[in-house]
């Protein structure tokens, strides 16, 4: 496989994803770990880890750095990027992050928990019809046009500046305004409504720090806001596995690490069956 193709692509570089990567690698699988800045994991906020054996009160940042070091020592490829698209394609998956596309035979979703986040009104029906989740990927389509940036994460201002640099007229909405916004349009985006005012635009960039797995794979069966899995971490989509906080509570490191390990073993078994 070339540098952008692998047996197992792991979405998320938190404890579940790192554990899955180490096990998949130990099984001789080619692996890419693709995720936003790992220090954005909730674990980085933990002052002290008291319930994971053998750590003697390490901080969350220390534990994450140590886990990331394991990936590096094993020579496992890790790419920092926001995954904005997943497409099933002839028995494999095409995964886009920033401006790159990766091909994988299986996916392990280790994307962490998302609490209380719903798409904005109009966002899902108009996705790909003027709504984009990625300024770098789609910005050039709107050169010379008026667009809205709905910033729901920390990178919105940077992306708005990028869109201005390439020649878009940008209306910027900060997180407080953006979370109350509504996107209007029938076949394509026509306007954004925010604070009682309607702003005509041709494109809308809805920018979160990460895109939810359920939005990346709309066919993914969910249960109580989490990805539904069986005991071996299979999701309802063949070739897609999931582990960690994204599959449910309790949100704990030990559980995430164990499930990452199981997901990798199940993905390896799935590939063996396919290759018979």
Ligand X SMILES: Cc1cc2nc3c(=O)[nH]c(=O)nc-3n(C[C@H](O)[C@H](O)[C@H](O)COP(=O)(O)OP(=O)(O)OC[C@H]3O[C@@H](n4cnc5c(N)ncnc54)[C@H](O)[C@@H]3O)c2cc1C
Q: How far apart are CA 187 and CA 107, in angstroms?
A: 32
Task: Pick the piece of the chain touching ligand X (CB under 6 A) from 70-78, 169-177, 243-251, 266-274.
Answer: 243-251
Kindly state the smallest distance separating residue 165's Cβ from ligand X, in Å.
Answer: 24
152 touching ligand X, by CB under 6 A: no
Q: Which residue's CB is nearer to ligand X, number 33 or number 194?
A: 33
> Can you say whether the dihedral through the CA atoms of 23, 258, 266, 83 is positive or negative?
negative
248 touching ligand X, by CB under 6 A: no
- Contact yes or no for 156/172 (Cβ under 8 A): yes
User: Strand pairing of 182-185 and 189-194?
Assistant: antiparallel
Near ligand X by CB under 6 A: residue from 22, 83, 104, 263: 83
Kindly state the smallest distance separating residue 133's Cβ from ligand X, in Å.
Answer: 9
Site for ligand X in 5-64 (CB under 6 A): 11-17, 35-36, 38, 40-43, 45-46, 49-52
Kindly state the smallest distance separating residue 28's Cβ from ligand X, in Å.
Answer: 23
Site for ligand X in 161-180 (CB under 6 A): none
Q: Which residue's CB is nearer to ligand X, number 36 or number 163?
A: 36
Distance of CA 132 to the CA centre of its chain: 15
Kindly state the smallest distance separating residue 42's Cβ from ligand X, in Å.
Answer: 3
Q: How far apart are CA 136 and CA 141, in angstroms?
A: 10
Kindly state the smallest distance separating residue 37's Cβ from ligand X, in Å.
Answer: 7
Question: Which x/- pattern over 195-234 shows residues binding ligand X (rule: CB under 6 A)?
Answer: ---------------xx-----------------------
Q: How far apart are CA 37 and CA 148, in angstroms?
A: 25
110 touching ligand X, by CB under 6 A: yes
Q: Which residue's CB is nearer to ligand X, number 35 or number 139?
A: 35
Q: How far apart are CA 187 and CA 30, in angstroms?
A: 41
Residue ranges that bind ligand X, judged by CB under 6 A: 11-17, 35-36, 38, 40-43, 45-46, 49-52, 82-83, 110-112, 210-211, 244-245, 251-254, 256
């Amino acid at each position: 496989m070339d540098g952008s193709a692998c047996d197992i692509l792991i979405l998320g570089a938190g404890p579940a994803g790192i554990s899955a990567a180490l096990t998949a690698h130990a099984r001789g699988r080619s692996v890419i770990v693709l995720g936003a800045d790992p220090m954005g994991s909730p674990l980085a906020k933990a002052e002290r880890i008291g319930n994971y054996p053998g750590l003697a009160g390490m901080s969350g940042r220390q534990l994450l750095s140590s886990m990331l070091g394991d990936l590096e020592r094993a020579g496992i490829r890790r790419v920092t990027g926001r995954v904005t698209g997943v497409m099933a394609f002839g028995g494999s998956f095409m995964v886009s992050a920033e401006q790159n596309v990766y091909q994988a035979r299986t996916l392990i979703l280790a994307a962490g928990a998302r609490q209380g986040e719903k798409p904005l009104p109009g966002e899902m029906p108009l996705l790909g019809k003027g709504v984009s989740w990625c300024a770098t990927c789609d910005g050039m389509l709107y050169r010379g046009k008026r667009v809205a940036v709905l910033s729901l994460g920390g990178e919105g201002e940077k992306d708005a500046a990028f869109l201005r640099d390439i020649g878009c007229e940008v209306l910027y909405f900060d997180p407080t305004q953006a979370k109350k916004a509504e996107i209007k349009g029938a076949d394509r985006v026509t306007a954004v409504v925010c604070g009682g005012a309607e702003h005509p635009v041709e494109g809308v960039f809805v920018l979160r720090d990460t895109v939810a797995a359920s939005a990346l794979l709309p066919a993914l069966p969910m249960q109580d806001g989490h990805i539904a899995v069986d005991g071996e971490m299979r999701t309802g989509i063949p070739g897609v596995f999931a582990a960690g906080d994204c599959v449910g509570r309790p949100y704990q490191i030990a559980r995430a690490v164990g499930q990452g390990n199981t997901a990798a073993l199940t993905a390896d078994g799935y590939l063996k069956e396919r290759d018979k």
